[in-house]
Chains A and B, each alone.
Chain A
Amino acid sequence: MRQHCNNRAFGDVIWGTTDVKDREAEWADLMRLAIAGDQAAYQRLLLALAPWLRAIARRGLARWGDADAEDVVQETLLAIHLKRHTWDADRPIGPWLRAITRNKLIDNLRRRGGRIDVSIDGMEDFLAAADEKPPVETRDVEPYVNELPERQRDVVQCILTEEISIRETAVRLKISEGAVRVALHRGLATVARSYKRDMT
């Protein structure tokens, strides 16, 4: 047992990069499963990505604090979702994730008039350390949701605020599941755009 622990510590030092590659490969597998329809895999992926995004966002927006950093986390998760068809499933997922994260971070800094001091050029930066501190709540998204067209608003409120499933939402609103899915997708796209708006 002791021998095993020593070897493991040794491995972490020498083969730290293997850890990074493993994680990247695991995320790519989860994403492929998600795209094939595995909702549970998608949730696992997003829950795994969030702490990493949080670490990058908190570093990049250190001047502004955790709520603003959480804005970036949410905006990036939405972008990853809405643009996931731009990932070539035959290629590594790391560069794709890095490019999207970088893009959203720079966007955010630019909007706040901050210095663009983003250093996620290497995978080591991106996968350096997850931020395990609990996420904070961001500003209220209610106003943006209330602006949505009625169908989208109802659906987004059910699924986002009350966290019920698509089927339950369809039953409650007396519309088809297909209609719920369309409304949810459009609602999410609109919410994603709302991050760019006045944030003071």
Chain B
Amino acid sequence: MKTDKLIHAITADNATRSVSVERWLAMVIFPGIVISAILFALMLGPRSDIVRVSGEFSFLFKFVVTLTLALTATLLACRLARPGADTKLAALALLAAPVILGLAVLAEFTAVEPAMRASKLVGTTWLSCVTFIPILSVPILAATLIALRHGAPTRPALTGAVAGLIAGGFGATIYAAYCIEDSPFFLATWYTLAIVGVATVGGLIGARLLRW
């Protein structure tokens, strides 16, 4: 095929408008979250004392961390989907959630007696945590990857992993309504494990799915 012919055909297609990745994410992430919320309602439901604890700092703090992660990861994914776009600032912003959590861990460390620390870390529901956060992340991960396919990520695996952070962040946010463990130790261990797991899966799938 002669390149000039291709250029003619491409030019004829000039009127086509494509939707940006940002728009796509806005369109599909909410349905993904809703599906996860429905799964949550069917499988778990909120903790029985949720009304009582909904004003407590330690309960609300979980949401602050997970939502911060989900939102900063979304910003980074939007940058990664645009070839040549600067990602440094967005990558730096991603550190916000870990830093906030790290500070909380330090604070808890000084406040809690040594004997209690281990039991707060292990908790009683770690298995449910590392099981359900990934499950709740699945619809959101699917939605995010579908949206990112409309971009042009030059690093598909990395972008997939960041999609996993988005999904894990929102999935963990939903899970946190059920979770009875409020210790930052627990968060830093099990939530991190679950979310990193989702990010790994996102990276593996993204490496294939996000090619263009």
Residues on A lying within 8 angstroms of B by beta carbon are 34, 37-39, 42-43, 46-47, 50, 70, 73-74, 77-79, 81-88, 91, 94-100, 102-103, 135, 137-141, 156, 159-161, 163, 165-166, 181, 184-185, 188
If A99-B84, A160-B6 touch, whether A34 touches B14 (CB-CB below 8 Å) is yes
If A100-B152, A160-B8, A188-B13 touch, whether A73 touches B3 (CB-CB below 8 Å) is yes
A42-B83 Cα distance, complex, nearest whole Å: 20
Interface residue tally of chain B, by bracket?
Answer: 20 to 34
Minimum CB–CB distance from B75 to chain A (whole Å) comes to 14
Q: Does B92 contact A (CB under 8 A)?
A: no
Chain B contact residues, majority secondary structure: loop
Contacting pair A163 B10 (CB below 8 A) = no
Minimum CB–CB distance from A167 to chain B (whole Å) comes to 10
Contacting pair B10 A188 (CB below 8 A) = yes
Contacting pair A165 B12 (CB below 8 A) = yes
Question: Of all chain A residues, which has the CB nearest B6?
Answer: A74
Contacting pair B81 A86 (CB below 8 A) = yes
Contacting pair A85 B19 (CB below 8 A) = yes
Q: Does B1 contact A (CB under 8 A)?
A: yes
Contacting pair A96 B3 (CB below 8 A) = no
Give 20 A-B pairs besides A86-B21, A185-B13, A188-B10 with Cβ atoms closer than 8 angstroms. Answer: A39-B14, A43-B7, A77-B6, A81-B13, A82-B212, A85-B17, A86-B81, A86-B152, A91-B84, A95-B83, A95-B84, A96-B82, A99-B154, A103-B152, A135-B2, A137-B2, A160-B6, A160-B8, A181-B15, A188-B13
A103-B211 Cα distance, complex, nearest whole Å: 10
A42-B16 Cα distance, complex, nearest whole Å: 12
Give 1 or 0 for each of B17-28: 1 = CB within 8 Å of chain A CB.
Answer: 111110000000
Question: Of all chain A residues, which has the CB nearest B19?
Answer: A85
Chain A CB count within 10 A is highest, among B7, B21, B84, for B84
A95 — which chain B residues lie within 8 A by C-beta?
83-85
Contacting pair A86 B9 (CB below 8 A) = no
Q: Which of A46, A73, A79, A88 contacts B82 (CB 8 A)?
A: A88
A180-B85 Cα distance, complex, nearest whole Å: 33
Question: Of all chain B residues, which has the CB nearest A177?
Answer: B15
A50-B3 Cα distance, complex, nearest whole Å: 8
A159-B17 Cα distance, complex, nearest whole Å: 19
Minimum CB–CB distance from B176 to chain A (whole Å) comes to 34
Please, could you name 9 A-B residue pairs with CB atoms under 8 Å apart, sorted by A? A39-B11, A43-B11, A74-B6, A78-B10, A95-B84, A98-B84, A135-B4, A156-B9, A160-B9
Minimum CB–CB distance from B91 to chain A (whole Å) comes to 16
B82 — which chain A residues lie within 8 A by C-beta?
86-88, 96
Minimum CB–CB distance from A184 to chain B (whole Å) comes to 5
